[in-house]
Amino acid sequence: MGKVIVGTTMSLDGFINDRTGSVARLYPDLDELRKTEMLQESIRTTGAVLMGRHAFDMAQGNLTGYEYQVPIFVLTHHPPEGVIKGQNERLTVTFLNEDIRSAIVRAKSAAGENDVTIVGGGNTAQQCLSAGLADELLIGIVPVLFGSGLRFFENESIENIRLEQLAVMESPSRTDLRYRILK
């Protein structure tokens, strides 16, 4: 069975967006990002994606060209109305109004032998880490400083999580760190 991998990108000073809520400086060149070893490996091994509503909203209802062509599960209390562009026989979107454990079970079922990758903002990832549901942590660090914004690691419930380094992947615009979560 695949792993549950929590992934995010942050500034060097630990923020996943700036004080205005923007992530633009973290993703200055999406074409370059798609060529990184980290993302290529993630695309190959991911069988389903789980994200929160805020992460979903960043695509503005258009998943055309989205790197993960797998079932996507979005945790939300309020599913959006309207058509989602980019869905196909592999990329489907399901909105879930349930707890993190149930959402992980659904995503694992869809992923089969592949991994479930949790992407985007802090809330869904923090829920998964706090509940002890994640197997690995994948952190991309971009050499920018925000000074303020939304911190990814701002949750006391994760202070006892122990990590084992698995890989460091460097590319021109970022450094990706992969850790196993010791249980």
CATH number at residue 139: 3.40.430.10
Beta bridge partners, 74, equal: 51, 95
Q: What is the pLDDT of residues 75-120, one digit of tens each?
A: 999 998 888 999 999 999 999 999 999 999 999 999 999 999 999 7
**Domain that includes residue 98, residue range:** 4-182
Q: Supply the pTM of this predicted model.
A: 0.92
Cβ 115 vs Cβ 2: under 8 Å: yes
Number of domains in the chain: 1
Express the helix, strand and coil content of the chain in percent, nearest 5 each.
Answer: 25, 35, 40
Each residue of 10-69: pLDDT tens digit?
999 999 999 998 999 998 887 788 888 888 999 999 999 999 998 898 888 889 888 999
Q: Beta strands 162-171 and 174-182: pairing type?
A: antiparallel
Q: For residue 26, what is the DSSP state? A: G
